[in-house]
Amino acid sequence: MDVLTSEQRSRNMAAIKGVNTRPELVVRRMLHSRGFRFRLHRKDLPGRPDIVLPKYKSVVFVNGCFWHQHAGCKFAGKPISREEYWNSKLARNMARDADNISKLTELGWRVIVVWECELRDADTVATRLANCLKQCA
């Protein structure tokens, strides 16, 4: 049973942003401070990647652990209420992610996924991103 009224829950869910989220801004700052230049949310690419680095033919998705169901992550728990709804919604998100990654790979793009929980150790993520991108150069 939800502790919030339906109006409160609706307002809460409506406030969740899809772009320019805090984890996304952290990754953008990381890349920019290391000299990488990028574009944001290109609509002409499958899945509208969060960060696009055309020079490196690479895209970065910054995924929330809950919304994209990060396997084995403690932040990827499923809600207790309306289980059927949430199970199907989160399964659709995961299927859409896999489809978009597949399409981008077929188009010749390198896909890098950064999970929200990984940003707790930002230095490791920054090093991983830099290494991946430098291999492309």
The CATH number of the domain where 81 resides is what? Answer: 3.40.960.10
The predicted model scores a pTM of: 0.86
Q: How many domains does the chain have?
A: 1
Give domain status of residue 76, yes or no: yes
Give domain status of residue 18, yes or no: no
Give domain status of residue 4, yes or no: no
Per DSSP, what are the bridge partners of residue 63? 115
Q: What is the pLDDT of residues 37-88, one digit of tens each?
A: 999 999 999 999 999 999 999 999 999 999 999 999 999 988 888 889 999 9
Cβ pair 14, 4 in contact under 8 A? no
Cβ pair 27, 119 in contact under 8 A? yes
Q: Which two tokens stand for residue 63?
A: 């995924």
Radius of gyration of the chain (CA): 16
Name the residue type at position 134: K
pLDDT at 47: 95
Give domain status of residue 5, yes or no: no
Give domain status of residue 39, yes or no: yes
Q: How confident is the model at residue 1 (pLDDT cuts 50, 70, 90)?
A: low
Q: What is the pLDDT of residues 101-126, one digit of tens each?
A: 999 999 999 999 999 999 999 999 99
Q: How confident is the model at residue 136 (pLDDT cuts 50, 70, 90)?
A: confident
Give domain status of residue 13, yes or no: no
Give domain status of residue 9, yes or no: no
Q: Which domain does 52 fall in, by range?
A: 23-136
* Closest to 112 (Cα-Cα) out of 134, 128, 123: 128
Give domain status of residue 88, yes or no: yes
